[in-house]
Amino acid sequence: MRRIINYAPRVGVRVILAALPFVAVLAIYLIASNARLAIEPNDKLMPAFATFWATLTRLATTIDKATNQYLFWWDTWLSLQRLFLGLGISALAGLVLGILVGFIPYLRATFEPFFAAFSLIPPLAVLPILFILFGLGEVSKIVLIVFGIAPFIIRDVMLRVASIPAEQIIKAQTLGANTWQMISGVVLPQVMPRLIDSVRLSLGAAWLFVIAAEAITAEGGLGYRIFLVRRYLAMDVILPYVAWITLLAFLMDWGLRRLAAAAYPWDRIKAA
């Protein structure tokens, strides 16, 4: 007797099934919005889709007099700039420190407990300290992202290095490889796919820290705009911005997944 775990949907069916939850959420919102607007045409909590479109068009195509910028694109650029800087620094730190600490026994014995404890510190709890140390400018926002996700990436890379079969290291030493050659020839190719996956898994946290920092102190950014208009119950701005952040995160995740599949196809085959 075939069990349910042995039935797999075809490609076309898989696409339809993946779209169903999104369609259901949109349908529920549309029904609820129409019901509220029928009672109160000026309802702010659940605006119509036409209102979303009009607001986004205005923010994306009209220059703001105060900043002399197209607010939607300006906010997007500022947030992505902070996000990419934080992710880039975190990924580089995770790669270098994760490999060195994970591969060299003395470093692992010294720093593995430290990184384990460091990764458990709630980043938002130290946000006031970061503002005191680095000021209210861009540096404190980047440091918050790095503080929040770099320890996780470092630990994940360390675990991947530790999982490399000892036979491979022994064979490399038998062939006369030194430490650097073993790192570059044996460890690095196996760590890079894991690093990309770690960055993918950190995207949600990275966006959280960007928005949190922008909400407290910033002159622009997606999180800054959301918290600026919340006092006016401007859901026609907040909900599209949230949807835009989600779309950006999804596209980044998709891009990293495609990069890993193209650059390291053997890792995907091995995982399958």
- Whether 80 is covered by a domain: the verdict is yes
Residue 25 and residue 149 share a domain: no
Residue 150 and residue 62 share a domain: yes
Three-state DSSP class for 70? Answer: strand
d(CA 229, CA 238): 7
Domain holding 134: CATH number?
A: 1.10.3720.10
Label residue 266 by pLDDT band (50, 70, 90).
confident
Tell whether the model's pLDDT for residue 272 goes beyond 70: no
Find all residues with CB under 8 Å of 204, minimum gap 6, and list them: 249
Residue 78 and residue 110 share a domain: yes
> For the chain, what is the domain count?
2
- Nearest Cα neighbor of 248 from 82, 85, 79 is 79
Tell whether the model's pLDDT for residue 174 goes beyond 70: yes
Residue 127 and residue 25 share a domain: no
Percent of the chain with pLDDT over 90: 38
Residue 75 and residue 164 share a domain: yes
Residue 22 and residue 130 share a domain: no
Least confident of 122-136, 194-208, 257-271: 257-271
Residue 119 and residue 9 share a domain: no
Residue 126 and residue 42 share a domain: no
Residue 220 and residue 246 share a domain: yes
d(CA 235, CA 221): 17
Tell whether the model's pLDDT for residue 246 goes beyond 90: yes
- Whether 51 is covered by a domain: the verdict is no
- C-alpha distances in angstroms, 96 versus 73, 147, 172? 34, 16, 20
DSSP-H helix ranges across the chain: 11-39, 49-61, 71-103, 105-118, 127-134, 138-162, 166-174, 179-182, 188-216, 222-229, 235-263, 265-271
Residue 68 and residue 37 share a domain: no
Tell whether the model's pLDDT for residue 49 goes beyond 60: yes
Label residue 270 by pLDDT band (50, 70, 90).
low
Domain encompassing residue 10: 4-46
Residue 225 and residue 202 share a domain: yes
195: buried, middle or exposed (CB in 10 Å: 19+, 13-18, 0-12)?
buried
∠ Cα 224 226 227 (to 5°): 70
- What's the average model confidence in pLDDT over 234-249? 92
- Which pTM value belongs to this model? 0.86
Label residue 170 by pLDDT band (50, 70, 90).
confident
- Whether 39 is covered by a domain: the verdict is yes
Residue 237 and residue 186 share a domain: yes
Percent of the chain with pLDDT over 70: 97
First to last CA, the chain: 25
d(CA 97, CA 178): 19
- Whether 29 is covered by a domain: the verdict is yes
| Beta-bridge partner residues of 70 | 63
Per-residue pLDDT at 91: 95
Least confident of 4-8, 147-151, 243-247: 4-8
Tell whether the model's pLDDT for residue 269 goes beyond 80: no
- Whether 52 is covered by a domain: the verdict is no
- Whether 249 is covered by a domain: the verdict is yes
Find all residues with CB under 8 Å of 221, minimum gap 6, and list them: 75, 78, 79, 82, 210, 211, 214
